[in-house]
Structures are given as structure tokens and as C-alpha cells.
């Protein structure tokens, strides 16, 4: 199975979409954090480190690519298309101000997934037309994990995507254990959580609790 199919299949199946965030990881390395996430059953990992030097990113991503491949998990690189290609990632995730989807596709080819962050119905429709493989939907709630984040889009945009957009999607932004049931109950099968996972000492217990909430919402 190529990376594009793996990513879209896992997002449609549902489950936790994990992201790295070393500054919130209680002093642990990204390799330690991702190993713990994989051990806890997370099967989609996005590498998102905005401020690190490219050489350091490359070394980390090589290790994370090997770990995710062994676990049968999807590995996605945020923004850095060249890095995604160099480490043979399954996909790349870009934002509204990054290269357009068509340009990214010309670089990554047909075998890798392209995810696109969206914040409005217009952007979601444009993502479909542009050929994105999945979209990020958010930020649902206020979040502090990104410096350039836009204002929360709220649950109404999530409702729109569930109702009107056929692409796989990842709900993101301020999602915590305390509000996950609300998001999942509206149809978000694949929520992305950052500090709620990487910022706790026992990720296995936390992920298990989150998965129980997701499972209950599907019944």
C-alpha cells in the first residue's frame, strides 16, 4: 500500500492523529514521544517542528520514519516537502499560505498524501477542487501550540464539513479529553491532539482514555 492510500484509509477508519511538539513534551525527545504514542496505539504521526534546524529535523525524521514503518503507522511531515521526500514520508501537510496543492503534487507525486489545513467552508471546497487527499478542520477551540494560528472556527465549521465535504478530515485545535466527546459526537472520527498527549507523563493511559471516548461516540 502506498503512503497516500495508507493515510486516507487510516483517517477514514478513525483514531488519534498525533503530532510532535517537543517544547511541550516534558523534556523528552521526539523519538521518545513518538515511540510512546506508537506503543499506545496511535497510528498516524505528523512531524511538526517549526523552529528546528533542517539538519536536526532530518535526523529525527529518519528515526521516526523507521519507527512508524515498523509499527504500520502513517508518517506525515508538516510543511517541509523536501524533508518529506528525503525520508520517504507517507505524506505532507501544508497550510493555506504554503505552496498550493497542485504544486505540491508535482513534487511529491501520486503515491504520497497531501493534507491541507482549512478554516472555512470556502477553503474546504477549494481543497476538494485542488485535489487534496484530506483536510485539517480547525482550530475548533483556542490553541497555544502554534504561534501563527487563526481564531477558533468553532463547531459550526466542523458541522459543515461533516455534512458537505466528502474528503477525509482531521479535527484540530484545542481538543482535550474534556471536550473530545463533543467533537467526536459531531462526526469527527480522527481528532488531532498535541499537548493533551505529549504533555502528560503517561501517554498510554491518556491515549486509552481518548480512544474510549472516540469508541463511545461511534455507538
Q: List % helix, strand, coil for the chain (3-state, nearest 5).
A: 50, 15, 35
pTM of the model: 0.96
Residue 175, Cα to own-chain centre: how many angstroms?
12
Phi, psi of 186 (to 5 degrees): -95, 5
Q: Give the mean pLDDT of 205-218.
A: 96
Distance, in Å, from the CA atom of 128 to the CA atom of 192, rounded to the nearest integer, reads 20
Which pLDDT score is estimated for 148?
65
* Superfamily designation of domain 3-218: Aldolase class I (3.20.20.70)
Positions marked active-site: 48, 117, 146
**In the chain, where are the structural domains located?**
3-218
From the number of C-beta atoms within 10 Å of its C-beta (0-12, 13-18, 19+), residue 54 rates as exposed
Distance, in Å, from the CA atom of 96 to the CA atom of 150, rounded to the nearest integer, reads 11
Residue 44 pairs in a beta bridge with 17, 74
List, in order, residues 6 or more apart from 208 with CB less than 8 Å away. 40, 41
What's the pLDDT tens digit per position in 100-151? 999 999 999 999 999 999 999 999 999 999 999 999 999 999 887 766 668 8
What's the pLDDT tens digit per position in 169-206? 999 999 999 999 999 999 999 999 999 999 999 999 99
Amino acid at each position: 500500500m502506498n503512503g497516500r492510500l495508507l493515510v486516507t484509509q487510516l483517517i477514514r477508519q478513525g483514531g488519534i492523529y498525533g503530532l510532535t511538539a517537543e517544547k511541550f513534551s516534558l523534556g523528552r525527545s521526539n523519538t521518545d514521544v513518538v515511540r510512546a504514542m506508537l506503543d499506545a496505539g496511535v497510528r498516524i504521526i505528523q512531524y511538526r517542528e517549526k523552529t528546528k534546524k533542517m539538519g536536526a529535523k532530518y535526523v529525527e525524521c529518519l528515526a521516526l520514519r523507521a519507527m512508524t514503518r515498523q509499527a504500520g503507522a502513517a508518517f506525515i511531515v508538516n510543511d517541509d516537502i523536501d524533508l518529506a521526500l528525503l525520508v520517504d514520508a507517507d505524506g505532507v501537510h501544508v497550510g493555506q499560505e504554503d505552496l498550493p496543492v497542485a504544486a505540491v503534487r508535482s513534487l511529491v507525486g501520486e503515491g504520497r498524501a497531501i493534507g491541507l489545513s482549512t478554516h472555512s467552508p470556502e477553503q474546504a471546497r477549494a481543497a476538494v477542487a485542488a485535489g487534496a487527499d484530506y483536510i485539517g478542520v480547525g482550530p475548533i477551540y483556542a490553541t497555544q501550540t502554534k504561534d501563527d494560528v487563526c481564531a477558533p472556527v468553532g463547531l459550526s465549521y466542523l458541522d459543515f464539513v461533516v455534512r458537505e465535504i466528502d474528503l477525509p478530515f482531521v479535527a484540530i485545535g484545542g481538543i482535550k479529553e474534556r471536550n473530545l466527546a463533543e467533537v467526536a459526537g459531531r462526526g469527527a472520527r480522527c481528532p488531532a491532539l498535541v499537548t493533551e498527549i505529549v504533555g502528560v507523563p503517561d501517554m498510554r493511559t491518556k491515549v486509552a482514555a481518548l480512544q474510549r471516548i472516540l469508541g463511545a461516540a461511534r455507538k
